[in-house]
Amino acid sequence: MKTRAFQQLDVFGAAPYLGNPLAVVLDGTDLTHEEMQHFAQWTNLSETTFLLPPSVQGASAGADYRVRIFTPGAELPFAGHPTLGSCHAWLRAGGVPKAHDIVQECQAGLVRIRRSGTRLAFAAPPLRRSTANPELLAAITAALGIKPQQIKAAQLLDNGPVWLGLLLDSRQTVLALTPNHQALKTTGQKVGVAALESAQDRTPLIARSNREARAFAPASTQTASATPEAVEVEVRAFAAPVGVLEDPVTGSFNASLAQWLIAVGLAPRTYIAAQGSCIGRAGQVHITQDDSGQVWVGGDSITCIEGRVSL
């Protein structure tokens, strides 16, 4: 074992400790796959990442660093909040990008990351969409405890991780879900659900989010920054097959969801998604599609713990 620089961050939160925590080991060199997986299981966070030098191929394509991403149960080819949090940690540790955009290498390929003030945003990876198998959809519907008519649209969304994306009929339906997680695990399929807000629904939603942010934020963070901005999409994500029953805030699913909904005209080119309120969080994901059609997924990252870890 040797001591390695370590950070634990909060990503996508409206204030510290309201988003999705991430553990980052800033030097993953000479660690085996098994050692990384064991540490990720020990942290018991939704994701733990290990930073490495880019591969020869990655470096030649402009990568600034490489990241490996683990849940407690498996390695992921790509994930959103680990992308932003790992980049934040790399920059905080003195990383200097080769160009204006930071380029991260992961198993899914190269991911561009941009800075806007203190907020980072990643370029959503290319999305492959397909129709869900009717038998799988029926099993998921039963496990979620909803009726088929409450599903407005469904797609398999693949941007590295594969999510079954469900657009439900209302925010109330999304927030009321009490899934059978064992049944979801049996399907082997991660599931993300969302609902679009109508204009008349947004005022009570904002008020509810503000109350939650004030309730859960520590006294030292109960400032204006703890007040979420207006949101237009409510999101939840269930990933029992990889050891995470409900993810607090999910960058990969929000990325693929945005690409899907914007492409079919169901969502505007710029919006804010809320996630995590059912588990005491107040996550905010900032979505923007630029003029080239690229979707950017942004959020805040805050370092909460910094030190060294023996690995």
Residue with tokens 């945005």: 258
76 and 211 share a domain? Answer: no
115 and 161 share a domain? Answer: no
156: how many CB neighbours lie within 10 A of its CB?
Answer: 18
What 3-state DSSP class applies to 158? strand
Six-digit token string for 34: 């098994």
Task: List pLDDT tens digits, range 30-85.
Answer: 999 999 999 999 999 989 999 999 999 999 999 999 999 999 889 999 999 999 99
Task: List pLDDT tens digits, range 225-242.
Answer: 334 456 699 999 999 998
pLDDT of residue 212: 47
109 and 137 share a domain? Answer: no
69 and 163 share a domain? Answer: no
pLDDT of residue 229: 53
Q: How many domains does the chain have?
A: 2
94 and 190 share a domain? Answer: no
Rounded Cα distance between 307 and 266, Å, is: 44
Mean pLDDT confidence for 130-143: 97
110 and 206 share a domain? Answer: no
262 and 305 share a domain? Answer: no
Task: List pLDDT tens digits, range 10-33.
Answer: 999 978 999 999 999 999 999 999
Mean pLDDT confidence for 189-218: 62
148 and 115 share a domain? Answer: no
97 and 221 share a domain? Answer: no
Tell me the pTM: 0.88
The CATH number of residue 108's host domain is 3.10.310.10
Rounded Cα distance between 138 and 285, Å, is: 29
214 and 236 share a domain? Answer: yes
36 and 106 share a domain? Answer: yes
pLDDT of residue 211: 46
Cβ 305 vs Cβ 287: under 8 Å = no
**Res. 202: pLDDT tops 80:** no
Give the structural domain span for 283.
Answer: 128-297
116 and 152 share a domain? Answer: no
Cβ 202 vs Cβ 230: under 8 Å = yes
**Res. 265: pLDDT tops 60:** yes
pLDDT-wise least confident of 118-122, 149-153, 221-225: 221-225
Mean pLDDT confidence for 145-155: 98
Q: What percent of the chain has pLDDT over 90?
A: 84
